Amino acid sequence: MINNVPDQPRCSRCVLPRYAESVRCNNDGVCQLCASELSPSNVTDEDSQTKLDSLDDRVSRIKADGKGKPWDCVVGVSGGRDSSYLLRELTRKHNLRCLAVYYRTPFTGQVAHENVLRMVERLNTDLEIMNLSAKFHQELARYMVILWAKKRQWMFANLACAQCKLLNGEIFRVARKHDVKWILYGSNAIESFQGATWRRSSASDSQGAADRHFSFLAQMRRMMAVVRKGTELLVLCPGLWRHWSVMFQASILYLTPNTPYIKLRYPGVNVLHYFYYAGWKEEECERTLKELGWQLPFGSGTTWRADCTFAAFKDYMLQETAGMTYMDSMLSNMIRAGMLTRDEAMKRLEDEQEVFPAKIRAALDVLDLPGSISLPNVPINRGEKRQPHMLRHRRPVAEL
Ligand SMILES: [Zn+2]
C-alpha cells in the first residue's frame, strides 16, 4: 500500500500544508485563513431561508426571460458529480427547461461519458455537443506536462487545462446562438482553490459573496496576477510563445464566466452560480445522484472531479510544485465552513487523495507519455513507498 498523503506538517485547525507556497502560518501553526476566521460562504440553518428566497426570485426571472424560447437556460455538463446534480436540481426541482452542453475532453473516460448520456435521458433534457478540439487539448496538455517536468513550475499544471477554460467562451456562443438569456454554473464556494475565501456573516451576504468573488475588480486582480505569472513563464520558456494565443484566451478572455471580456462581448447573457444561492451539501448531492443512476468513474477514490482523468495528475503536479492539492484546499474550506471536523478531513485525505499511481498512469497513457518523463515521488513502475515530500525540506515562509 502506498502512502498517498505526504507526511507533512499541516495547519493545526484545517489541513492546509504548512509549507505550501501560498500558505502562511503563525507561531501556533495556524494558517492565515483559519487565523483570520475567514470562511467560505455556504448555506447554514439560520441564513438558508433568505438565500432560498433570493434564489426563487432569480428562478422566476430566468423563467420570465425564457418565455417564447426553446430553453430557459444553458448548463454545461461533464459527467461529473456537480454538473449532474445541478442539471437534476434545475429540471426536477425548479422545472427549468435546460439545454445541456457538453464537450468530451481527451480525459473524459467512458463512465463519465455514459453519465452524461444517462442524465440527459433520465432528466429529459436536450443535449448539444460543443465544438472544441480534443486532439488539440491532448497535445497542449502533453506539451505543458513535459515543460512542467523540466521546469518545475506549478503554473504549467493550470496551463495544461487551458482548453477547458475556452469552454466558458463556447457556452456563451451556444447561449447567444439560441437566444437563451441565462447560463447556470455548478461551482460552489467550498471548492474554490485556496485564496478565494469569504467572511461568513449575515444572511444577505450570500449575494455579497458571489458578487465579491466575481466582481469586476476581483476579476481584474485575478487577471493581473495571471499576467504577471504568465510573463515570468514566457521569460523562462521562450518556446511557450507558440501557444500565446490559447494562453491569452484561457488566462485573460475566458478565465471565468465573469471576465470583463465576456461581459462586453455577450451583454445579453447572464450567469448564475446556482450553488452560491442554493447552498451545496455533499451528502445530498451524492444521495440524489445515486438515485439517478450516476456512476463513479473507475479507479476514483472520490466523487469530486472524478469525471476528469487528468485531475489526479494535476493534483500530483500541484502537490510537487506548489505544496498542496485541490483536495487539501477543499477539505480545509469544509472545515472552516463547519461541514467537517479536522479528524474527518485527515481521514478523507488518506482515503480520497487522488495521487494514486494507477490514476497517474492512466493520465500519462492519454497524454501518450507513459514512462517517458521522470516523475519524482511517484512509484509508477517500481511499486515502492512514496518518498517524503520535497517541500518538507523547504524553510518555513515568513511567520505572520
Ligand atoms: Zn488553517
**Which residues lie below 8 Å from residue 9, measured CB to CB, with a gap of 6+?**
17, 18, 19, 29, 392
pLDDT above 50: residue 42: no
The pLDDT tens digits of the residues spanning 183-201 come to 999 887 777 664 433 333 3
340 belongs to a structural domain: yes
Distance from the CA of 79 to the center of ligand 1, in angstroms?
32
Whether 8 is in a domain gets the answer no
Ligand 1: centre distance to CA 280 (Å): 21
**Mean pLDDT, to the nearest integer, of 6-31?**
86
- Look at residue 24 and tell me if it is in a domain: no
Task: Tell how far the Cα of 16 is from the centroid of ligand 1, in angstroms.
Answer: 6
- pLDDT for residue 370 is more than 80: no
> What does the pLDDT average to over 5-31?
85
**237 touches 251 (CB < 8 A):** no
**Could you tell me if residue 39 is inside a domain?**
yes
What is the tens place of the pLDDT at every residue in 297-340? 766 666 667 788 898 888 888 888 888 888 888 899 889 888 89
Question: What's the pLDDT score for residue 212?
Answer: 58
Please give the pLDDT value at position 280.
Answer: 79
Phi, psi of 154, rounded to the nearest 5 degrees:
-65, -25
Q: Are 73 and 98 in contact (CB under 8 A)?
A: yes
pLDDT greater than 90 at residue 355: no
Tell me, what's the pLDDT at 114?
94
Inter-helix orientation angle 205-214/48-65, to 10°: 60
Residue pair 137/149 in contact (Cβ under 8 Å)? The answer is no
Domain membership of residue 304 (yes or no) is: yes
Residue 165 C-alpha cell reads as: 477554460
Looking at residue 2, its pLDDT comes to 38
- Identify each DSSP E strand in the chain by its residue range: 73-77, 98-102, 126-129, 182-185, 270-273
The torsion angles phi and psi of 68, rounded to 5 degrees, stand at 80, 5
User: pLDDT category, 170, cuts 50, 70, 90?
Assistant: very high
CATH of the domain at 81: 3.40.50.620
Q: How far is the CA of 253 from the centre of ligand 1 (A)?
A: 32
Q: Residue 68 pLDDT > 70, yes or no? A: yes
Q: Of residues 276 and 119, which shows the higher confidence score?
A: 119
381 CA distance to ligand 1 centroid (A)?
A: 35
Q: Which of 136, 258, 108, 109 has the alpha carbon at shortest distance from 196?
A: 258
All three cell numbers of 352: 480520497
Near ion ligand 1, which residues have CB within 5 Å?
11, 13-14, 16, 31, 34
Joined together, the cell numbers standing for residue 266 give 455577450
Compute the distance from residue 281 Cα to the ligand 1 centre, in Å.
21
What is the per-residue pLDDT across 237-294, written as a single tens digit (0 to 9) for each? 888 888 988 988 988 888 889 888 999 999 999 999 998 888 878 888 889 988 888 8
Mean pLDDT on 386-395: 35
Q: How many domains does the chain have?
A: 1
Q: Is residue 212 part of a domain?
A: yes
pLDDT band at 63 (very low <50, low <70, confident <90, very high): very high
Start-end of H helices in 253-354: 260-265, 274-278, 282-292, 309-321, 326-336, 342-352
Is 148:317 a contact under the CB 8 Å cutoff? Answer: yes
235 inside domain? yes
* 392 within domain boundaries: no
Given a contact cutoff of 8 angstroms between Cβ atoms, the answer to whether 277 and 94 are in contact is no
Centroid of ligand 1 to alpha carbon of 321 (angstroms):
20
> Quick one: which of 125, 128, 119, 112 has its CA closest to 78?
112
**Domain range for 250:** 32-366
d(CA 200, ligand 1 centre) in Å? 15
